Amino acid sequence: MSIPGVDGFMYPNEVELQWSVLIVLYPYITGLVAGAFILASLERVFKVEAVRPTYRLALLTALAFLLVAPLPLQLHLGHPERSFEMYLTPHRSSAMAMFGFVYLWYLTVVLLVEIWLEYRAEIVQLAQSTTGPKRWIYRALTLGSHNISPEARRVDDKVGYAVTVIGIPSAFLLHGYVGFIFGSVKANPWWSTPLMPVVFLFSAMVSGIALVMVLYVVLMKMRKTAIDMRCLDTIARYLFYTFVIDFSLEMLDLVHRTYESDESFRSLDFMVHTRLWASHVILQICLGTLVPLALLAANQFWKFSEAKRKVMYMTAGGLTLVGIFAMRWNVVIGGQLFSKSFLGYTSYKVQIATREGLLSAIVLMLLPFAIFLVLAKLLPPWQEAKAHEA
């Protein structure tokens, strides 16, 4: 007597997967936030002037995605109306309980403050130059602070710098923490590794940098504005560096598991060679890692024409985003496909039009882009790019 979709033996309650595609989106989206912020901090803290045209773009991208980050979790919960209890009565031993606080810290103390300080002078000017409802919005956004004297701007800059300095470890915390949620589950050998937070962190940086790079090129094309190739080359170089570290860490994990070959290894190895073959080996490792790494590496050794570089970077960026999504999928879904008895495997069928189905996931992935467009309309990130070109 066999159960559809199940091979071998699963504990009876394991047949149904508990964490769906929405939980795949959760680390994917928070990773994009952390990565975009790290890219922004390259310019602000590490003085990588070349990436200045993407500074504001990266900040707005991080904000747009951060606003959406809790939504997949809310949709997933059996009782979303009780989620506020995590703030009121957090269970201190739970790795998950701190998410709300880490999230709020990152949103309010880091991102909103940094964006506000960055845009403050323009907000004050817009509050005076615009009319109608827009004027009211900008007036509200000034928070009553209208002083944009050079002295006040210097203070803004200093505080902004300090916030970014705090923001870097905060971004690390945000995504390293998400990695810890998985890495600390000792019952699950696919997840349980101290490397998980570090791998999550570097993959976050890779995905965030790739997203801003792709977004920058697409937006410049849409606006018919020239792409700053020095900026693009620099971003691609940093993407390459972080990708090398990320890939090395993932390979270290793989080598370690293979060499140790503990009780779970045979089961996990079988899973990778069967149910996860397409998403893990083909999508994540080959298409999502080796191809973009080769494209980015080629640019470190040879000089290609501008047009070719653009195509190579866009291909590398797009594949990277797919690859990191596949990585999140393989962690979250892969971690539930095998039995904790190591004697069998179940399967995951993505539902379409349910609360946790594919349509919800698509909407949640499109939502940050819609929010970004609104934010970009309200707080244009282009001014700086133009200034740089000038």
Partner 1 sequence: MDISRRDLFKIGGKLLVLASAGATLEQITGAEAPGEAYRMADHWWGMIIDIDKCLGCGNCVRACSKENDVPQGYFRTWVERYQIEEGKQPHVESPDGAIDGFPPLTRADLKSFYVPKLCNHCAESPCVQVCPVGATFVSPDGVVLVDETYCLGCRYCVQACPYGCRYLHPKKETVDKCTLCYHRITKGLTTACCESCPTGARLLVDFKNPKDPVHEILRTNKVQVLKPYMATEAKVYYENLDGAVR
102 binds partner 1 (CB under 8 A): no
In the stretch 6-35, what mask flags binding to partner 1 with x, by CB under 8 A?
A: --xxxxxxx-x-xx----------------
**Can you tell me which of 45, 95, 137, 217 binds partner 1, judged by CB under 8 A?**
95
> Considering beta carbons, is residue 12 or 132 the nearer one to partner 1?
12
d(CA 296, CA 75): 37
91 binds partner 1 (CB under 8 A): yes
User: Which helix (H) or strand (E) is 344 found in, with range?
Assistant: strand 344-345
**Can you tell me which of 46, 82, 145, 311 binds partner 1, judged by CB under 8 A?**
82
Stretch that binds partner 1, among 26-34, 55-63, 71-79, 376-384 (CB under 8 A): 71-79
CB of 193 to partner 1, least distance (A): 15
Of the CA atoms within 13 Å of residue 381, those in its CB half-sphere come to 25
Name residues whose C-beta falls within 8 Å of residue 281's C-beta, 6 or more positions apart in sequence.
Answer: 272, 273
φ, ψ at 365 (rounded to 5°): -80, -25
With CB under 8 A as the rule, give the number of residues binding partner 1: 43
d(CA 192, CA 179): 10
CB of 240 to partner 1, least distance (A): 35
Name residues whose C-beta falls within 8 Å of residue 169's C-beta, 6 or more positions apart in sequence.
Answer: none
In the stretch 328-347, what mask flags binding to partner 1 with x, by CB under 8 A?
A: -------xx--xxxxxx---
d(CA 229, CA 310): 9
Amino acid identity, position 228:
D
d(CA 381, CA 354): 36
Q: Which residues pair with 338 in a beta bridge?
A: 345
**Can you tell me which of 5, 46, 49, 77 binds partner 1, judged by CB under 8 A?**
77
Residues that bind partner 1 (CB under 8 A): 1, 8-14, 16, 18-19, 73, 76-80, 82-83, 85-86, 89-91, 93-97, 99, 181, 185-188, 335-336, 339-344
